[in-house]
Amino acid sequence: MQLHLDRSLKTPLYLQIRNQIRQLILTNELPPGFRLPPERKLAASLGVNRTTIVNAYHELEADDLIRPHVGKGTIVTPPLCSEHSSVDGLAIDGNSELLRLPVQPMAWQNFYTSQSERMYNPVLASILDEIGEEDQISFALGSPAGEFYPLEKFRQISQEVMQPGNWQAFEYGPTIGHYPLRKYLADWLGHRGIQTQAQNIMILSGSQQGLDLLAKVFLEPGDFVVMEEPSFIGAIGVFKAAGARILTVPMDREGLRTDLLEQILSRHRPKFIYTLPTFQNPSGTKMSLVRRHELLKLAYLYHVPIMEDDPYSELYYENQPSPSLKSLDEHGHVIYLGTFSKMLFPGLRLGWCVAPSPVLEQLTLAKQHVDLHTSTTAQWIMTEFCHQGLLDEHLPLVRNQYRRQRDAMVSALTEFAPQGLSWTVPEGGYYLWCELPPGMKAATLLTKAAEKKVTFVPGNAFYVNSRGNDRIRLCFSRHSETTIREGILRLSEAILEMLNQPHSGGTASRPPFNETLV
Amino acid sequence: MTYIYAERVKSMENSAIRDLLKVAVQPNIISFAGGLPAPELFPLADIRESYDRVLGAGDPSVLQYGTTEGFLPLREEISAQMRTKGVKAEADNIFLTNGSQQGLDLIAKLLLNPGDEVLLQNPSYLGAIQTFRSYQANFRVIPSAGEGIDLIALESSIKEHRPKLIYLAPTYQNPTGTTLTIEERQTVARIASLYGVPVIEDDPYSDLRYDGPASPPIKSFAAEDAVIYLGTFSKTLAPGLRLGWIVADRTLIAKLSVAKQGTDLHTSTLLQRATHYYLTHFNTLEHIEKMRQTYKLRRDLMLKELQKSFSTQVKWTEPSGGMFIWLTLPESYDTLKLLPRVEAANVSYVPGAHFFAHEGIHSNMRLNFSNPTPLQIKQGIKLLAEILAVN
């Protein structure tokens, strides 16, 4: 039994001992029946007072994890649940016979809703799952670079917020969000051309929650929704789960093709148009100003709301991007989603929605049933972070850095990419959108690439119908320039090998990531 | 522009919870309305140190995306805690949520089609009623027998109506403070397995026990996977963190995970890391013990003050744990209508009508004793009795 005490911690030694032994018991490294060392002996070996060990054992005993036995010493107890796990033969009047029948395992599949059948979104799952795989170079997960997280400042601010007596930061709060944060965002968005007020902003547990709430409030099974194609995986998943029929509009270099949109709007009555106009995920496209105006005009004409998803607009590497649709909207048609996840870091799960009051009212009501409100503590810390100007301070830093990373990826591709591979060079955001050499399938390439320890998201994940198999998305925000270069080298090798053996790919065994993409 | 909402929006009420949260922030009011722990008991210094340590370790992954099911070491810690309550659980039976409210929402999303029936106690937790209602569920009431539920009626109701779910808060229930006996728990577990109807066991209060025996969760008696257990750190740590968990079998956890991905990807990584640090480095039992002692005194005081101030026509429950006392006035009283008058005198409560799935009962109120100070309890109950003037 190996214990390590850290005398620099504020945690008392007896608690350190208790916690470590507890962990060992719970992970079964000390199995039931294991005899713990006698108190005096353990005290000597750890160089602590015997009382310390007595206290630690006492705590463990209180948790029912160990029990002293006369003559045998202190023994690890078996899990409690076995003691009353079965209650056979229990009688209710007149029903005792029935109750003795064997119990069938719960057949959950008979219980699920029709919505849950539509929820499956394997790509998102596998992207999240891959976090933590060490030697892999992942261009899949759309995450900011951890090395630039303002950890130390954030720590200091958390300490300031949690001043003794500031219980408010730990209490229930209003569903719509912490007022000072909403006020800050109203002003912050004001500097970006969006004229709004705190009362038109609600705080979300990440902007994904905004999509979920919008679906809940607006979508009946069978309703039409319009999206760009390709489009954000998370949005496709939510709308599909809601049972919506998705109408897709192709894009060109200026973004969503408004001429085609008009044809759709003249035939169908969609509940809303979902768009990610600035540095789109996955294509990196920036919608032109002309198109933005055309899109709004069509929305007014056909009376269709627009959901503008805007996680990337602050991450521009050339000129300031075009104004958001929300800032151009004169008739309350745009519902706007923002997030801290891509600008700062995603682990706090904080986003926001700007919407006309009646819509915000409905969204708030829906959110109340979903999670009451977003973490008060997280909102307080973020508010203070913003108030100290640290968000605005952080942005130029990451813009600079991500520009360099984008350039590193582009120049590595220029240097290593085999003939036939082409890619976009986005002016902002996180992603390069690549077209594979003719005939090559993204899913097959992924298998080959995984062997070489590099991953990406195959293009079909971003399409509603079975298209996009000739595309891949590469995220450049997460890794350093050196790692990006290495990753692109590996990817290029994988492509080259496939080009040299064109027929081997189709039947090769596929990693689990892939099968789910069918 | 005029927005066209989905049909289900009609069943989302403008809810009392929101009003409660509002009242709670009004100064000068003696509030018996909220379901709030006493903030002066939050282990603020310990939480603060936990954040300090977790953010100070130089590990950016504390602010990174995480897996949907939750931070593995925290799931391990919670499963260990569940085992000490007698529930068979491993880390992969645990699923982290943004408070147990989200647990209710995700389960409802997975299991409730419009028109499905939910069996529940009458009265029941408001937040649960509203969430099920937002999925357009219909309700069936489990008749009560004494403190508990009528088990024979429960069984015949299951046979007759084939409900999709049974929702129960068996321990120090919100709003009544009542608790099911061990025999009732065993039988519920058994009936649920037998008829294959899942039970949601909502258990926010069981750690707040002031007297009487500890009651093992219904889930601890369920030989199979029929019980979905909901836990939360809102009452034992702090509600504003928004952290809860679900204990369920692996098949359901996999489904929940898919549902939560589309809902918000996952619960805050930093919050989970800091909570894990807190649970493994501080004496949480001592903290809970401190809360118990404080709340017990407040409960005793409120019961004493009620005894002093109200006539025998008024009845109330005497809970052995939790946060609430349930007061029943003579039938002619309507606590909804009386509330403005009471609030004008700077006292508030929750009208009982909010906790009934069906309309019709108006003479109850829920009184919270954990949040107000002893002085407020004394003054507030006296004021309340004066205004209501039940003779």
The DSSP secondary-structure symbol of A155 reads H
> Whole-angstrom Cα distance, residue B76 to residue B92?
8
Who contacts B36 (Cβ-Cβ below 8 Å, separation ≥6)?
A171, A172, B24, B239, B368, B370, B371
Interchain CB contact of A290 with B (< 8 Å): no
B186/A90 CB distance under 8 A: yes
Cite the beta strand spans of A77-222 per DSSP E: 137-138, 201-204
pLDDT at site A433: 97
Contacts of A9 in chain B (CB under 8 A): 281
B270/A305 CB distance under 8 A: no
Instruction: Please choose, from the candidates B123, B149, B187, B158, the residue with its C-alpha nearest in 3D space to the C-alpha of residue B354.
Output: B123
Interchain CB contact of A368 with B (< 8 Å): yes
> Whole-angstrom Cα distance, residue B56 to residue A286?
38
The DSSP secondary-structure symbol of B68 reads T
CB distance A373 to A173 below 8 Å: yes
Amino acid at B4: I
Contacts of B59 in chain A (CB under 8 A): 151
Please state the pTM of the whole predicted model. Answer: 0.84
Q: What is the pLDDT of residues B113-142, one digit of tens each?
A: 999 999 999 999 999 999 999 999 999 999
Q: Name the residue in chain A with its Cα closest to that of B43.
A: A167
Chain A 228-247, residues with CB within 8 Å of chain B CB atoms = 234, 237-238, 241
Interchain CB contact of B261 with A (< 8 Å): yes
> Whole-angstrom Cα distance, residue B350 to residue B335?
8
> Whole-angstrom Cα distance, residue A29 to residue A369?
42
HSE of B366 in the Cβ direction (CA atoms, 13 Å)? 29
Angle between helices A233-241 and A122-129 (to 10 degrees): 140
Structure tokens at B169: 């808060």
Looking at the complex, report in whole angstroms how far the Cα of residue B389 sits from the nearest Cα belonging to chain A: 33
Looking at the complex, report in whole angstroms how far the Cα of residue A319 sits from the nearest Cα belonging to chain B: 29
CB distance A293 to A328 below 8 Å: yes
Contacts of A158 in chain B (CB under 8 A): 48, 51-52, 55
Query: Using CB atoms, which residue from A114, A131, A216 is nearest to B113?
Result: A114
A172/B34 CB distance under 8 A: yes
**What is the three-state SS of A202-253?**
EEECCHHHHHHHHHHHHCCCCCEEEEEECCCHHHHHHHHHCCCEEEEEEEEC
Give the three-class secondary structure for B364. strand
Confidence of residue B24 (pLDDT cuts 50, 70, 90): low
CB distance B147 to B169 below 8 Å: no
List residues bridging with B358 in a β-sheet: none
Weakly modelled stretches of chain A, pLDDT under 50:
81-101, 504-518
Which of A65, A161, A368 to probe the B interface (max B CBs under 10 A)?
Answer: A368
Interchain CB contact of A217 with B (< 8 Å): yes
Prior bond of A12 cis (ω within 30°): no
Q: What's the distance, Cα to Cα, between the start and end of chain B in Å?
A: 55
Q: Name the residue in chain B with its Cα closest to that of A97.
A: B194
Strand A306-309 vs strand A471-475: parallel, antiparallel, or unpaired?
A: unpaired
B3/A212 CB distance under 8 A: no
Give Cα B139 to chain centroid, integer Å: 18
Query: Using CB atoms, which residue from A119, A121, A370 is nearest to B105?
Result: A370
Prior bond of B213 cis (ω within 30°): no
Interchain CB contact of B6 with A (< 8 Å): yes
B66/A347 CB distance under 8 A: yes
A348/B270 CB distance under 8 A: yes
Quote the Cα angle for A366-B238-B235, to 5°.
Answer: 85
Chain A 430-489, residues with CB within 8 Å of chain B CB atoms = none
List residues bridging with B30 in a β-sheet: B347
Interchain CB contact of A518 with B (< 8 Å): no
Query: Using CB atoms, which residue from A92, A104, A365 is nearest to B187?
Result: A92
Strand A334-339 vs strand A351-354: parallel, antiparallel, or unpaired?
A: antiparallel
Interchain CB contact of B226 with A (< 8 Å): yes
Q: Name the residue in chain A with its Cα closest to that of B111.
A: A112
Query: Using CB atoms, which residue from B40, B241, B249 is nearest to A377?
Result: B241
Looking at the complex, report in whole angstroms how far the Cα of residue A418 sits from the nearest Cα belonging to chain B: 33
Instruction: Please choose, from the candidates A400, A424, A408, A415, the residue with its C-alpha nearest in 3D space to the C-alpha of residue A472.
Output: A424
Q: What is the pLDDT of residues A312-335, one digit of tens each?
A: 999 999 998 899 999 999 999 999
Prior bond of A164 cis (ω within 30°): no
Structure tokens at A95: 């029903």
| Exposure class string for A23-61: b at 16+ Cβ within 10 A, else e | bbbbeeebeeebebeebeebbeebebeeebbebbbebbe
Please give the order of strands across the beta sheet that includes B117-121: B94-97, B244-247, B227-232, B199-202, B165-168, B117-121, B138-142
Instruction: Please choose, from the candidates A314, A268, A265, the residue with its C-alpha nearest in 3D space to the C-alpha of residue A294.
Output: A265
Contacts of A157 in chain B (CB under 8 A): none
The CB density around residue A423, as the number of other CB atoms within 10 Å, is 17
Which of B76, B98, B158, B182 to probe the A interface (max A CBs under 10 A)?
Answer: B98
Q: Name the residue in chain A with its Cα closest to that of B266.
A: A349
- Token look-up 């508010």 returns A383
Confidence of residue B391 (pLDDT cuts 50, 70, 90): low
Contacts of B40 in chain A (CB under 8 A): 167
Structure tokens at B226: 């029929």
Interchain CB contact of B127 with A (< 8 Å): yes
- Token look-up 């799960």 returns A349
Chain B 76-115, residues with CB within 8 Å of chain A CB atoms = 76, 79-80, 83-84, 86-88, 97-99, 101-102, 105, 109-113
Give the three-class secondary structure for A142. coil
Give Cα B295 to chain centroid, integer Å: 17
pLDDT at site A505: 45
Query: Using CB atoms, which residue from B58, B187, B226 is nearest to A106?
Result: B226
Strand A334-339 vs strand A306-309: parallel, antiparallel, or unpaired?
A: parallel
Q: What is the pLDDT of residues B288-329, one digit of tens each?
A: 999 999 999 999 999 999 999 999 999 999 999 999 999 999
Contacts of A369 in chain B (CB under 8 A): 12, 15, 101, 105, 127, 130-131, 134
Contacts of B261 in chain A (CB under 8 A): 119, 121, 124-125, 128, 237
Contacts of A332 in chain B (CB under 8 A): 1
pLDDT at site A486: 97
Contacts of A475 in chain B (CB under 8 A): none
Looking at the complex, report in whole angstroms how far the Cα of residue A333 sits from the nearest Cα belonging to chain B: 7
Please give the order of strands across the beta sheet that includes A422-423: A422-423, A431-435, A471-475, A457-458
Interchain CB contact of A271 with B (< 8 Å): yes
Structure tokens at A391: 């968000």
A208/B263 CB distance under 8 A: yes
Query: Using CB atoms, which residue from B64, B189, B262 is nearest to A119?
Result: B262
Chain B 323-362, residues with CB within 8 Å of chain A CB atoms = none
A220/B6 CB distance under 8 A: yes
Q: Is residue B350 scored above 60 in pLDDT?
A: yes
CB distance B174 to B152 below 8 Å: no
Looking at the complex, report in whole angstroms how far the Cα of residue B145 sits from the nearest Cα belonging to chain A: 14
A104/B14 CB distance under 8 A: no
Query: Using CB atoms, which residue from A143, A305, A362 is nearest to B9?
Result: A362
How many residues can be counted in chain A? 518
Query: Using CB atoms, which residue from A80, A331, A362 is nearest to B86?
Result: A80
